[in-house]
Amino acid sequence: MVNIFERQFDRLATNIRSRTKQVIAWIKVYFKRLLFPLYLFPIKLITYTAYYLVKFIIKFILAFIGLIFETIIFPFKSLKNFLKSIFILGIFIYLVASLFVIADYLRTQYGYYGKFLCSFGAKDKLQESVVRIVGGYSEGSGFFISANQVLTNFHVIADEPSPKIIFPDGSFVTPIKMTGNKDIDLAVLYTENMYPEKVLPLPDRNLFREDEPLISTGYPLGTSLVGKATVVKGNFIDFRKSSKNPVVYLQTNISLVQGMSGGPLADQCGNVVGVNAMSLAGLSLFISGDQAKTMVPTFTSQTVKKIVVDPSLSPEEAVSAYYTYLKARRMRDGFNLLSREYLQKTNYEEWTNRFTDILDVDIIKSEKFENAKDTVFVKFSTKNWVNSEAVMHFYEGTWQTIKEDGVYKMLKSKIIEVETPSWNWFYE
């Protein structure tokens, strides 16, 4: 047996060597004919190239015609061949039909075939970038359009002088500046630090195919629901123009709910094309992203509610100012409203650590306590961010104040927490 394999191997090696020698010899002859004499080399190069090219094309055509002919007559050579042909034809038709089904699926699910590959990871990118916008009277969503600019709806922050931007990891910051345009319902919140990794830039121009799939991202029901941002899928329907304001809307069949306002509308690749605006009966409108991009530089700060307090006016105003500063995270201003006597038992670091989780403070009542000139009765609630969940607390009690350096400051407090306030607690 071993000898048989050795003979076969030797025969194969001999054939390879023989064939190699023939090819080398042919190449030598070819180049000799091509190069010599040298003065004919340019002409030979052209003619030889044309000759072998034409020869190859003719052989290819003849082989192709032969293949077609053999394919045509193959089924008729025998019953066995006929059955084989039927089987192969069935498989071919199935594969072609499958390709059409796959192509239609990619078109309906991703808009067009080029967006299939770029869709991977788009959902995760959106969920990692979209933020909560939380205040005392309204909650919504937003996203970074630059390293320190968060875009949201104006109605989310219209009555909130100090909203909070809550990141997906649970941390939050207070904007240092807000601008907006009430007519088109958009606002920009400016952060002190930069977050370039979270930027979802607005487009220069929106182009869609008919019924192109789109995805909307936001936090439905605000802080009432914990967890990641929700990604909802739907289809582009048409462009709409409002008769009441200069806004171009994108209409989709996506169903938005409260809390998703201000979040991004994106294509399957995660590219922003619009801003969540409003929804009714399963039909939602989104502010066109390219229009938003042109309008953002024109926003002004005059239309956003400001915090205005004056602790020098009265003890009641001073107490209101104290809690307003906590609400706005203006911690240094709040600390400066503590009296010299109060400061004997605390310092700035210890005092600020008491309020690290406060998202909002809502002052329900701040009024003179009975007949005391320097004592204030106060009711307020706080919204605290604990373990990525909003928790409400309710308090009431008195603050004794003292006037120092022309300003009423906090002296002594008797504040207690109200565990389960009744409805009339808010209106007494």
- What value does the CA radius of gyration of the chain take, rounded to a whole number of Å? 38
In a domain, 410, yes or no: yes
> How far is it, in rounded angstroms, from Cα 156 to Cα 218?
13
User: Looking at this protein, which amino acid is placed at residue 203?
Assistant: P
pLDDT reported for residue 395: 97
Q: What is the pTM of this model?
A: 0.70
Asked whether residue 144 falls in the same domain as residue 235, the answer is: yes
> How far is it, in rounded angstroms, from Cα 401 to Cα 374?
5
Name the domain boundary from 108, 137, 171. Answer: 108
pLDDT reported for residue 340: 95
Asked whether residue 202 falls in the same domain as residue 128, the answer is: yes
In a domain, 309, yes or no: no
**Other beta carbons less than 10 A from residue 173's beta carbon:** 17
What are the backbone angles phi and psi of residue 15, rounded to the nearest 5°?
-65, -40
Half-sphere exposure of 168 (CA within 13 A, CB side): 18
CATH number for the domain spanning 364: value is 3.10.450.100
Which residue shows structure tokens 């605290």?
Answer: 384
pLDDT reported for residue 303: 59
pLDDT reported for residue 50: 83
> In degrees to the nearest 10, what's the CA dihedral of 394, 398, 400, 401?
50
Q: What is the mean pLDDT of residues 384-399?
A: 92
Please tell me whether residue 399 adopts helix, strand or coil conformation.
strand
Name the domain boundary from 53, 75, 108. Answer: 108
User: pLDDT grade, residue 371 (50/70/90)?
Assistant: confident
- Cα dihedral sign, 39-40-46-49: negative
Asked which of 48-62, 357-371, 382-396 is least confident by mean pLDDT, the reply is: 48-62
Q: Which domain does 202 fall in, by range? A: 122-298
> How far is it, in rounded angstroms, from Cα 17 to Cα 369?
112
Query: What secondary structure does DSSP assign to 164-181, as a single string?
Result: EEE-TTS-EE--SEEEEE
CB 265 within 8 A of CB 214: yes
pLDDT reported for residue 115: 67
pLDDT at position 23 over 80: no
pLDDT at position 2 over 60: no
Asked which of 69-83, 163-177, 193-207, 261-275 is least confident by mean pLDDT, the reply is: 69-83
Asked whether residue 132 falls in the same domain as residue 220, the answer is: yes
pLDDT at position 427 over 90: no
**Other beta carbons less than 10 A from residue 55's beta carbon:** 10
Distance of CA 400 to the CA centre of its chain: 49
> Parallel, antiparallel, or unpaired for β 164-166 and 172-173?
antiparallel
Asked which of 71-85, 131-145, 263-277 is least confident by mean pLDDT, the reply is: 71-85
Name the domain boundary from 298, 332, 360. Answer: 298
CATH number for the domain spanning 281: value is 2.40.10.120
Asked which of 5-19, 129-143, 230-244, 269-283 is least confident by mean pLDDT, the reply is: 5-19
**Averaging pLDDT over each range in 56-60, 151-155, 300-304, which range is the top one?**
151-155
Asked whether residue 214 falls in the same domain as residue 164, the answer is: yes
pLDDT at position 137 over 80: no
pLDDT in tens, 335-358: 999 999 999 999 999 999 999 999
pLDDT reported for residue 127: 93
DSSP state of 261: T
> How far is it, in rounded angstroms, from Cα 84 to Cα 80?
6
pLDDT at position 396 over 90: yes
User: Under 8 Å CB-to-CB from 286, ≥6 apart: which residues?
Assistant: 216, 249, 250, 251, 252, 265, 273, 274, 275, 276, 277
Q: How many domains does the chain have?
A: 3
Distance of CA 302 to the CA centre of its chain: 29
User: Looking at this protein, which amino acid is placed at residue 275?
Assistant: V
CB 317 within 8 A of CB 309: yes
pLDDT reported for residue 3: 66
Asked whether residue 265 falls in the same domain as residue 213, the answer is: yes
Asked whether residue 140 falls in the same domain as residue 265, the answer is: yes
Asked whether residue 274 falls in the same domain as residue 326, the answer is: no
Asked whether residue 175 falls in the same domain as residue 270, the answer is: yes
User: pLDDT grade, residue 136 (50/70/90)?
Assistant: low
pLDDT reported for residue 5: 62
User: Under 8 Å CB-to-CB from 134, ≥6 apart: which residues?
Assistant: 163, 164, 166, 172, 222, 223, 359, 360, 383, 385, 390
Among residues of the chain, what percentage have pLDDT more than 90? Answer: 43
CB 364 within 8 A of CB 382: no
pLDDT reported for residue 416: 96
DSSP state of 199: B
pLDDT reported for residue 240: 85
> How far is it, in rounded angstroms, from Cα 325 to Cα 365?
16
- Look at residues 231, 223, 415, 257 and name the one whose alpha carbon lies nearest to residue 323: 415
In a domain, 58, yes or no: yes
> How far is it, in rounded angstroms, from Cα 312 to Cα 310?
5
CB 286 within 8 A of CB 275: yes
Asked whether residue 385 falls in the same domain as residue 292, the answer is: no
pLDDT reported for residue 109: 64
pLDDT reported for residue 206: 79
User: pLDDT grade, residue 304 (50/70/90)?
Assistant: low
Asked whether residue 169 falls in the same domain as residue 74, the answer is: no
> How far is it, in rounded angstroms, from Cα 82 to Cα 37?
58
Q: What is the mean pLDDT of residues 5-32?
A: 77
Peptide linkage before 37 cis (omega within 30 of 0): yes
Angle between helices 41-77 and 2-35 (to 10 degrees): 140
User: Looking at this protein, which amino acid is placed at residue 269?
Assistant: C
pLDDT reported for residue 106: 66
